[in-house]
Amino acid sequence: MMDRNLGRILAGTLFVLGLAVVALWVRFAGGPELLEGIARMNPGYALLLVGLTVLCVVLRFVRWQFLLRRLHVRVPTRRSLSIYLASLAGIATPAYVGEAIRSVFLRRAFGAPVTTTLAAWVAERLMDFVAIALLGGAALTGSPVVVGAVLVAALAVAVMRSKEGTLRSRAVLLPTLGLTILAWFPATLVIGVAAHALGVPVGMLEGMRVFSAATFGGGLSLMPAGMGTTGTFAILQLQGLGIDLREAVTVVSVFRLATAGITLAVGGAFLLAELRLTRARTPSAEEHFDNIAGEYLDQFAPHIWDLLLARKTALLCSALPAPGPASTGLDLGCGLGRQAIALRERGYHVIGLDPAHNLLRHAQRAGLPTVTASGLQLPFADGSIDFVYTVGVLHHLVGPGWQEAACREVSRVLRPGGAFVIHETNPRNPLFRLYMGYLFPVLRSIDEGIERWIDAERWSQVDAMQLERVEYFTFLPDFLPRALLKAVLPLERWLERSSMRRYSVHYMAVLRKPLVSPDAEGRLRSGVAADARV
């Protein structure tokens, strides 16, 4: 109740302050004439301005998630996005220090160390200054801003490299700077687009320079949301380009409304929501899948489900022994049981195992024999299963050593010579890794953004099992429309046969449990060697 009341007070305060700031700006910037000038803008440009701001925020969130992961803070992407958007209300505080509230939220929701997440926030602020300075300098060759940008960049790198931890490495610094430049680039276009929409002669490069100088100056002023400084800097810059004062004020009004205005509105709304959710308990992986059981099939279009089912079933059959009445297989993490049912239709005797009760109910109704259990403790005797397969499951085992423990359990229950077939998402392709790690968990509820992806080469190092082969397959994205499917399938088949196959979306790894245990094999080899010496 206290959090809810506090949220209402904060949201109400932000709303009242926002209205007051807008009213004062309109009053002193021309009143009705200003509103008339804004009203003549084409609505299509308004959507474009909103889109540029949204793109900037989305890319900055991707950068935030990237920094958190490099600092070994793994939190569900959807909740992290909510916390990030809530912290945007902090731009209404001096020097934007209120944005640091995201560290408090992450601590209360997930136990993330405040000092660690604050280091990520400081790194963000430093990179923002560097990127804005570089973009402003790039817009005007030979500008003193270029010199300033280089100096600020050197200072930022020196400060970040002086910190202990993973922020020091180039593998973090360079992608962070790249993401920051990519994020702020659409925002630098706002002034040029606003001017064009209002018929004011300001080029895009000039608009980028004005945006960079105004944002840089507003940030250095430490004023909340750059109030009274960012707009003033921008107006003076536009006047320096020969723009009439009234037109400059109108352009800057649209610019501030499309950036700070939208950011504050979104931040205030999510802050209210986040204050209500902060104390909510994060569900376990089993609870997560139980919660989404009713919408599981809605995650992909039917033609994508059918395509993946057919491809994966065919590959599984190529890796498994011929079906027989005495052969028993285990679908580890069977979910709805569609893969196991498809194999049973081909004559295989398969048991489905999953810790999510609600998912198993769907499988049971389809006639699949199931067991409710965890892959970390398989309820089967040693050497009692002929083959085990798992489809898109192991990356959900995110605890320390869980993936290795699951493999040991599989090896324990497999009969000697039994196969362990693994289907996983391939993290080798950077585009798929970006999509699956940062965007997919927001668009779909199957993944949470905390998964630990497994490179195919890792399976050559599994204890007590030997890697037989790896096959790479599928390149098509899960959002491909049905109308395009037939046209692009030949291209996918060609890619799967080419040298690019290692960058596919999925792979299948086939592991085999030796007929003789490693210890026994070692003793046997020692005995053979002794006999040879004799």
**What ranges in 198-301 are assigned the alpha helix state H?**
204-220, 230-240, 245-256, 262-277, 285-291
Structure tokens at 92: 């209404």
Query: Does the pLDDT at position 419 exceed 50?
Result: yes
* Interatomic CA distance for residues 353 and 374, integer angstroms: 8
Greatest mean pLDDT among 211-215, 412-416, 460-464: 412-416
Amino acid at 403: Q
CB-CB neighbours of 422 under 10 Å: 26
* Interatomic CA distance for residues 38 and 251, integer angstroms: 8
Residues 6+ apart with CB under 8 A from 464: 408, 411, 513, 514, 517, 518
Query: Does the pLDDT at position 168 exceed 80?
Result: no
- pLDDT bin (cut points 50, 70, 90) of residue 503 is very high
- pLDDT bin (cut points 50, 70, 90) of residue 248 is confident
Q: Which one-letter DSSP state was computed for residue 415? A: E
387-399 burial code (b ≥16 CB/10 A, e <16): bbbbbbbbbbbee
What is the mean predicted confidence (pLDDT) over 270-278? 77
More confident residue, 98 or 217: 98
Torsion angle of the four alpha carbons 456, 460, 462, 465, in this order, in degrees rounded to the nearest 10: 120
- pLDDT bin (cut points 50, 70, 90) of residue 2 is very low
Task: Evaluate whether 137 touches 149 at the Cβ level (below 8 Å).
Answer: yes
317-354 burial code (b ≥16 CB/10 A, e <16): bebbeeeeeebbbbbbbbbbbbbbbbbbeeebebbbbb
- pLDDT bin (cut points 50, 70, 90) of residue 6 is low
Angle at 64 between CA 59 and CA 69, to 5 degrees: 125
Residue with tokens 């909103």: 50
- pLDDT bin (cut points 50, 70, 90) of residue 144 is low
- pLDDT bin (cut points 50, 70, 90) of residue 23 is low
- pLDDT bin (cut points 50, 70, 90) of residue 388 is very high
Name the region of 66 (left: φ>0; alpha: ψ -120 to 50; beta: rest). Answer: alpha
Structure tokens at 316: 């599984």
- pLDDT bin (cut points 50, 70, 90) of residue 162 is very low
pLDDT recorded at residue 226: 59
pLDDT digits (tens, 9 = 90+) for 229-246: 777 778 888 888 888 887
More confident residue, 166 or 301: 301
- 242 class by beta-carbon count within 10 Å (0-12 exposed, 13-18 middle, 19+ buried): exposed
- pLDDT bin (cut points 50, 70, 90) of residue 11 is low
pLDDT recorded at residue 155: 58
What is the mean predicted confidence (pLDDT) over 195-221? 81
pLDDT recorded at residue 368: 93
Radius of gyration of the chain (CA): 29
Angle at 168 between CA 163 and CA 174, to 5 degrees: 135
What is the mean predicted confidence (pLDDT) over 362-371? 90
Q: Which one-letter DSSP state was computed for residue 370? A: E
More confident residue, 337 or 203: 337
pLDDT digits (tens, 9 = 90+) for 89-122: 888 777 788 888 899 999 988 889 998 999 899 8
Query: Does the pLDDT at position 498 exceed 90?
Result: yes
More confident residue, 41 or 381: 381
Q: Return the percentage of the chain with pLDDT > 90, whole number.
A: 37
- 144 class by beta-carbon count within 10 Å (0-12 exposed, 13-18 middle, 19+ buried): exposed
Residues 6+ apart with CB under 8 A from 392: 333, 423, 424, 425
Q: How does the average pLDDT of the chain come out, rounded?
A: 82
pLDDT recorded at residue 174: 83
* Interatomic CA distance for residues 446 and 499, integer angstroms: 31
Query: Does the pLDDT at position 278 exceed 60?
Result: no
pLDDT digits (tens, 9 = 90+) for 26-40: 555 555 555 565 666
pLDDT digits (tens, 9 = 90+) for 429-440: 888 888 888 888
- pLDDT bin (cut points 50, 70, 90) of residue 398 is confident
- 366 class by beta-carbon count within 10 Å (0-12 exposed, 13-18 middle, 19+ buried): middle
Task: Quote the pTM value.
Answer: 0.82
Of 265-269, 273-277, 378-382, the least confident = 273-277
Of 323-327, 407-411, 478-482, 486-490, the least confident = 323-327
What is the mean predicted confidence (pLDDT) over 244-252? 81
Task: Evaluate whether 334 touches 312 at the Cβ level (below 8 Å).
Answer: no
- pLDDT bin (cut points 50, 70, 90) of residue 420 is very high
pLDDT recorded at residue 140: 52
* Interatomic CA distance for residues 25 and 19, integer angstroms: 10
Q: CA dist 167 to 117, 163, 181, 527, Å?
A: 11, 7, 18, 53
Query: Does the pLDDT at position 528 exceed 50?
Result: no
* Interatomic CA distance for residues 24 and 204, integer angstroms: 29
What is the mean predicted confidence (pLDDT) over 445-449? 85
pLDDT digits (tens, 9 = 90+) for 39-90: 667 778 888 999 999 999 999 999 999 999 988 898 999 999 999 999 998 8
Of 102-111, 142-151, 196-205, the least confident = 142-151
More confident residue, 455 or 291: 455
* Interatomic CA distance for residues 375 and 396, integer angstroms: 11
Query: Does the pLDDT at position 221 exceed 90?
Result: no
What is the mean predicted confidence (pLDDT) over 345-370? 91
Strand partners, 420: 388, 511
Structure tokens at 502: 């290692």
Residue with tokens 């089993």: 286
Q: Which one-letter DSSP state was computed for residue 257? A: I
